[in-house]
C-alpha cells in the first residue's frame, strides 16, 4: 500500500481561509452583479428581501447540518459527496454525488459564460466602430482553457492564491458600488415601500437562487484541509451569513439608487451607480465570476475523484483513470481534465439558462439530502453520532421539506426530471453494487427509534376497546417442508392484522445452535421476501415443542399490542405432529389465546374457488371469529378473485330462524358476502358433519371449521381427520366473543 508522509501532507494543506473565500466568492458571484437589479425592479425591495430570507431558510440550515456532520467524523476528499455517502451509504451517496458533480462541472461553464458579460462594453465598442459582432465564445473558450491549464499545472494551491486576488478585487468593486450616488430621477420610496408583482415571485426566485448555491463551495476542499472539523463549520457559516448580509445592503442600495425600468432593462445597472462604475463593476463581475469558476473547477474534480475511489462507476478502468492523481496531495489530474471537457461542451453551446434550472434542482437535492441526514441522525439517536457542533432536528427537517417544496414551486417539470434522473442513476448503481447497503439503510436508525417510541406509547396508553384484530404467532419445525402456515400469516397480516412466524430449532442454546439459528433466519428472510404480507420471521432454540410454545406466547408482539392468536400446522396426509399440537392446546388457552390449527393439503391454492366457512350449533363464539378471519384473509391481493361462502347447520325446523339470524349478522357487519352465498342446511339423521363438508367444499381454496377443547377430550386427533376430499382446512377455537 502506498504511504504518505504526514509531515509533508500537513505542511501543504489549507486552513479555514480557503473555505471562506471559496464560499464567499461563489455567493457574491454573477447573479449578484447581473440579476439583483432585475429582481429589485420586478419585486421591489421587500420582494427581494423575501427571496433572500426564503433562500437562506434552505442554505443556513444546510450550513449548520454540514458543520454538525463535519464535527462528528473526519471529512475526507469529496466534500458534500463524502458527507452524504458516509451517512446514507455508498449507493445513495454515489447517486447524489454524480448529480452533484454534474452540477459543479456545468457550474464552471455557467460562471465562465457569465465572465464574458464583463466584456460587454468591449463587444459593443467593436460592433459600433468596426461592425463586427463577436460571439462570446471568443472570450469564454480561451478563458476556460487557460483556467484548466493553470489548475492542472499548479493544482489547488495556485487556485487558492488566485482566489485571494479575485476576492480582493470583488470586495473593492462592492466598496465602490456602495460609495456611488443614486441615478438622477430615482425615487427611493417607489421601491423601498413595495412588494410588487407577487405572481412573478417564484419566477424571480428561480433566477436568483443560484447565487445561494455557493455556500458549500469550500466544503469540496475537505481533503485538502488541515482540520476539516474546524475549517468547514467556521468557513461555511461565515461565508453564508456574510453573503446574506451583503445581499441585504446591495438590495437596499439598488432600491434607492435607480428607477425600476432601468433596474429591469440594464443588467449592468450597478456600473451606472458605482463610483468609477464603468471600470470597477466589469472588473468586479469578472473577479466574481472567475473566482466562482475557480471554486467550481477546484471542487468538481475532487467530487469526481472521490466517486471513482468509491467505485461509483461500473468499469474498474474508468474508476482507476478518474481516481488517478499527482503529487503528494494526490491532485485530481484526470478528473480535472474530464470536468474541463464537460464545461467546454456547455461553453460551446453558449447559453445554459435551461440547464441552470436543472443545476438548481440538483443543488436543492443535495441541500435537502444533507439536512435530511442531520435530522435522521438526531431522530435516530445513534450513540456513535457525537458532533462537537450541534444544530437542531426541527431546523434540519424544516430545511429538507422546504427544499423539496421549492423544487416543485420553481419548476415542476425540472424537479420531476431531476428526481427521475437520480432514480435511474440509483437503480443502475444498485444493480452493479448489490453488495452495498442501498435505500433501506437510510432510515434504519430512525425507524428503530420510531418503533421503540410507538411501542412504549402503546404500552403506557390506557387500553380501550378499539375493536379486535388478529396478532398471530406460529411455531413450526417444518418451515422448509411446507409453507402454507407462512402464507396464512401473510394473508392475516397484509391489511388488518399482525403475523410472527417462528422456526423451532430443537436443542439447547449454545454457540453452535446460535450460528444455526442465524443461518436459518437468513433463509427464512429470503423465503418470505417475495410473499406479500407484513410478517416478522424469527427462530427459537428450545429442547421441546412445549417449552418453545411456552416461550413464544410470552414474547411481546412486534406490533406493540399483545399476541392474541396461536396458529399450529400439520400435514393432512401424514399428521405425525398432530398429537403434539393437541397436547399443547390447553397450555395456549390458559393464556386466553385464540387457537387455529391449519391442516395443509398437497393441493395448490385455487383462490378463485373462495373461502368456505362452516358454522355448527356448537360453535358459539367461533362463528364470529371464523367470519372475521375469512374477511381479513380475503383482503390480501392473492384473493382478489375470491369470495366467502357461509354454510350453517341447524336442527330440522329451524331453517328460517337460522337464515334470518345469519343474514342479519352479515348485513350488520357490512361484510362483502352475497345473500346467495349464505346457505343454511338442516342436519338430518344419518348424514354426518364431515360428510357434508366433504361434499359441499371439495373445491374450496380454504375451508374454516370450528372446534371446542371439550371435543378433543372425547375424540382426540380423530376430530381433525376425515376431511380427505377437501383442500386446506383451518380449524378455529375462539377464546371469546368477537364483535363483527
Cell 389465546 maps to which residue?
593
C-alpha closest to that of 19 among 58, 57, 61, 66: 66
Share of the chain above pLDDT 70, in %: 85
Q: Give the model's pLDDT for residue 4.
A: 44
- The H-assigned helical ranges of 310-352 are 316-323, 333-349
Residue 346 above 50 pLDDT? yes
Q: What is the pLDDT of residue 731?
A: 96
Higher-confidence residue: 249 or 91?
A: 249
pLDDT in tens, 664-687: 777 776 666 777 888 888 877 777
Model confidence at 352: pLDDT above 60: no
pLDDT, residue 11, reads 46
**What's 436-505 look like in SS3?**
CCCHHHCCHHHHHHHHHHHHHHHHHCCCCCCCCCCEEEEEECCCCCCCHHHHHHHHHHHCCCEEEEEEEE
Residue 452's pLDDT band, with cuts at 50, 70 and 90, is: low
Q: Identify the pLDDT of residue 7.
A: 42
DSSP state of 541: E
**Percentage of the chain exceeding pLDDT 90:** 23
- The pLDDT of residue 370 is above 50: yes
Report whether 93 contacts 81 (CB < 8 A). Answer: yes
Assess whether pLDDT exceeds 60 at residue 711. Answer: yes
Least confident stretch, 15-24, 38-47, 576-585: 15-24
pLDDT at 231 over 90: no
Give the cell for residue 106.
456545468
What is the per-residue pLDDT for 296? Answer: 79
Q: Say whether 268 sits in a helix, a strand or coil.
A: coil
Mean pLDDT of 708-712: 86
Alpha-carbon separation of residue 266 from 40, 47, 270, 574 (angstroms): 12, 19, 9, 90
What does residue 560 show for φ and ψ, rounded to 5 degrees? 95, -20
Give the model's pLDDT for residue 289.
80
How much is the pLDDT for 8? 44
What does the pLDDT average to over 584-588?
92
Domains of the chain, with CATH numbers? 15-440 (1.20.1740.10), 469-598 (3.40.50.620), 601-740 (3.40.50)
> Rounded to whole angstroms, what are the CA distances from 521 to 451, 513, 534, 558, 560?
21, 12, 16, 17, 22
Q: pLDDT category, 6, cuts 50, 70, 90?
A: very low
- Tell me the range of 192-196, 355-359, 489-493, 531-535 where mean pLDDT is highest: 489-493
**Cβ(595)–Cβ(568) below 8 Å:** yes
The more confident residue out of 661 and 577 is 577
Terminal-to-terminal C-alpha distance of the chain: 70
pLDDT tens digit sequence for 419-447: 888 888 888 888 888 777 655 555 666 66
Instruction: For residue 577, give the nearest of 501, 485, 499, 514 by alpha carbon.
Output: 485
Average predicted confidence (pLDDT) for the chain:
82
Dihedral sign for Cα 124, 127, 133, 134, please. Answer: negative
* Each residue's pLDDT tens digit, 94-106: 888 888 888 888 8
- Which cell numbers hold the place of 1? 500500500
| 3-class SS string, 676-731 | HHEEEEECCCCCCHHHHHHHHCCCCCEEEEECCHHHHHHHHHHHHCCCCCCCEEEE
Q: Which residues of 478-517 are buried (b: 16+ CB within 10 A; e: fewer)?
A: bbeebbbbbbbbbbbbbebbbbbbbbbbeeeeeeebeeeb
- For residue 162, CA distances in Å to 142, 228, 275, 290 come to 17, 21, 25, 9
C-alpha to C-alpha distance for 714 and 194, rounded to whole angstroms:
91
Q: What is the pLDDT of residue 437?
A: 62
Range with lowest mean pLDDT among 182-191, 252-261, 287-296, 512-521? 182-191
Instruction: Say if residue 187's pLDDT is above 90.
Output: no
Compute the distance between CA of residue 389 and CA of residue 377 in angstroms, rounded to an integer.
13
10 has a pLDDT exceeding 50: no
> Is it the case that residue 306 has pLDDT exceeding 90?
no
A 10 A CB-CB count for 294 gives 27
704: nearest Cα among 596, 609, 593, 582: 596
Q: How far apart are CA 67 and CA 237, in angstroms?
A: 8
Q: pLDDT tens digit string along 378-411?
A: 766 565 666 777 788 888 899 999 988 988 888 8
Residue 58 contacts residue 140 (beta carbons within 8 Å): no
The predicted model gives 510-514 an average pLDDT of 92
Residue 59 has pLDDT above 70, yes or no: yes
Bridge-based pairing of strands 498-506 and 471-476 is: parallel
Q: Write down the pTM of the prediction.
A: 0.62
Identify the band that residue 653 occupies on the pLDDT scale cut at 50, 70 and 90: confident
Q: Which three cell numbers stand for residue 433?
A: 453494487
Amino acid at each position: 500500500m502506498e504511504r504518505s508522509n504526514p509531515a509533508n501532507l500537513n505542511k501543504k494543506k489549507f486552513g479555514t481561509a480557503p473555505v471562506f473565500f471559496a464560499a464567499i466568492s461563489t455567493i457574491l458571484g454573477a447573479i449578484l452583479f447581473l440579476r439583483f437589479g432585475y429582481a429589485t425592479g420586478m419585486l421591489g425591495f421587500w420582494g427581494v428581501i423575501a427571496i433572500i430570507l426564503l433562500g437562506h431558510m434552505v442554505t443556513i440550515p444546510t450550513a449548520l447540518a454540514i458543520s454538525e456532520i463535519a464535527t462528528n467524523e473526519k471529512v475526507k476528499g469529496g466534500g458534500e459527496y463524502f458527507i452524504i455517502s458516509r451517512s446514507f451509504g455508498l449507493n445513495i451517496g454515489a447517486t447524489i454525488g454524480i448529480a452533484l458533480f454534474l452540477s459543479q462541472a456545468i457550474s464552471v461553464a455557467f460562471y465562465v459564460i457569465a465572465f464574458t458579460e464583463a466584456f460587454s462594453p468591449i463587444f459593443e465598442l467593436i460592433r459600433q466602430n468596426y461592425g463586427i459582432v463577436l460571439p462570446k465564445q471568443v472570450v469564454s473558450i480561451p478563458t476556460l482553457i487557460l483556467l484548466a491549464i493553470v489548475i492542472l499545472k499548479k493544482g489547488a494551491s495556485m487556485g487558492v492564491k488566485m482566489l485571494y486576488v479575485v476576492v480582493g478585487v470583488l470586495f473593492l468593486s462592492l466598496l465602490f458600488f456602495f460609495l456611488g450616488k443614486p441615478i438622477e430621477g430615482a425615487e427611493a420610496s417607489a421601491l423601498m415601500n413595495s412588494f410588487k408583482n407577487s405572481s412573478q415571485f417564484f419566477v424571480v426566485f428561480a433566477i436568483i437562487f443560484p447565487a445561494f448555491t455557493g455556500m458549500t463551495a469550500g466544503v469540496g476542499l475537505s481533503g485538502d484541509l488541515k482540520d476539516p472539523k474546524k475549517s468547514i463549520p467556521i468557513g461555511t457559516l461565515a461565508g453564508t451569513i456574510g453573503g446574506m448580509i451583503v445581499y441585504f445592503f446591495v438590495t437596499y442600495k439598488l432600491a434607492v439608487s435607480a428607477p425600476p425600468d432601468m433596474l429591469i432593462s440594464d443588467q449592468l445597472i450597478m456600473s451606472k451607480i458605482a463610483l468609477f462604475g464603468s471600470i470597477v463593476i466589469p472588473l468586479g463581475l469578472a473577479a466574481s465570476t472567475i473566482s466562482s469558476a475557480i471554486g467550481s473547477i477546484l471542487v468538481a474534480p475532487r467530487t469526481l475523484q472521490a466517486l471513482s475511489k468509491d467505485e461509483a462507476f461500473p468499469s474498474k478502468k474508468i474508476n482507476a483513470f478518474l481516481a488517478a492523481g499527482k503529487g503528494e496531495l494526490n491532485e485530481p489530474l484526470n478528473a480535472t481534465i474530464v470536468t474541463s471537457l464537460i464545461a467546454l461542451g456547455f461553453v460551446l453551446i453558449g447559453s445554459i439558462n435551461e440547464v441552470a434550472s436543472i443545476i438548481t434542482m440538483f443543488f436543492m437535492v443535495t441541500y435537502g439530502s444533507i439536512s435530511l441526514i442531520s435530522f435522521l441522525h438526531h431522530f435516530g439517536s445513534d450513540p456513535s453520532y457525537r458532533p462537537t457542533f450541534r444544530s437542531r432536528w426541527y431546523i434540519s427537517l424544516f430545511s429538507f421539506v422546504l427544499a423539496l417544496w421549492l423544487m416543485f414551486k420553481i419548476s415542476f417539470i425540472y424537479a420531476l426530471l431531476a428526481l427521475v434522473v437520480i432514480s435511474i442513476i440509483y437503480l443502475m448503481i444498485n444493480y452493479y453494487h448489490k453488495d452495498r447497503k442501498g435505500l433501506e439503510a437510510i432510515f434504519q436508525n430512525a425507524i428503530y427509534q420510531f418503533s421503540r417510541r410507538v411501542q412504549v406509547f402503546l404500552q403506557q396508553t390506557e387500553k380501550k376497546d378499539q375493536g379486535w384484530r388478529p396478532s398471530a404467532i406460529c411455531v413450526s419445525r417444518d418451515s422448509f417442508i411446507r409453507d402454507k402456515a407462512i402464507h396464512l400469516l401473510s394473508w392475516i397480516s397484509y391489511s388488518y392484522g399482525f403475523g410472527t412466524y417462528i422456526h423451532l430449532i430443537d436443542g439447547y442454546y449454545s454457540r453452535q445452535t446460535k450460528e444455526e439459528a442465524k443461518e436459518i433466519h437468513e433463509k427464512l428472510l429470503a423465503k418470505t421476501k417475495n410473499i406479500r404480507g407484513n410478517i416478522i420471521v424469527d427462530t427459537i432454540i428450545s429442547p421441546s415443542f412445549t417449552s418453545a410454545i411456552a416461550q413464544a406466547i410470552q414474547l411481546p408482539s412486534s406490533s406493540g399490542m399483545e399476541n392474541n392468536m396461536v396458529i399450529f400446522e400439520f400435514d393432512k396426509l401424514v399428521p405425525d405432529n398432530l398429537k403434539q399440537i393437541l397436547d399443547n392446546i390447553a397450555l395456549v388457552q390458559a393464556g386466553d389465546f385464540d387457537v387455529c390449527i391449519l391442516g395443509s393439503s398437497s393441493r395448490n391454492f385455487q383462490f378463485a374457488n373462495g373461502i368456505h366457512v362452516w358454522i355448527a350449533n356448537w360453535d358459539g363464539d367461533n362463528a364470529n371469529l371464523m367470519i372475521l378471519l375469512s374477511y381479513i384473509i380475503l383482503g390480501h391481493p392473492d384473493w382478489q378473485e375470491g369470495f366467502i361462502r357461509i354454510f350453517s347447520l341447524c336442527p330440522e325446523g329451524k331453517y328460517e330462524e337460522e337464515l334470518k339470524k345469519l343474514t342479519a349478522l352479515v348485513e350488520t357487519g357490512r361484510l362483502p358476502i352475497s345473500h346467495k352465498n349464505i346457505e343454511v342446511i338442516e342436519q338430518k339423521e344419518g348424514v354426518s358433519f364431515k360428510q357434508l363438508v366433504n361434499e359441499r367444499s371439495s373445491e374450496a381454496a380454504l375451508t374454516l371449521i370450528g372446534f371446542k377443547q371439550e371435543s378433543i377430550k372425547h375424540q382426540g386427533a380423530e376430530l381433525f381427520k376425515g376431511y380427505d376430499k377437501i383442500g386446506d382446512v383451518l380449524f378455529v377455537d375462539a377464546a371469546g366473543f368477537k364483535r363483527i
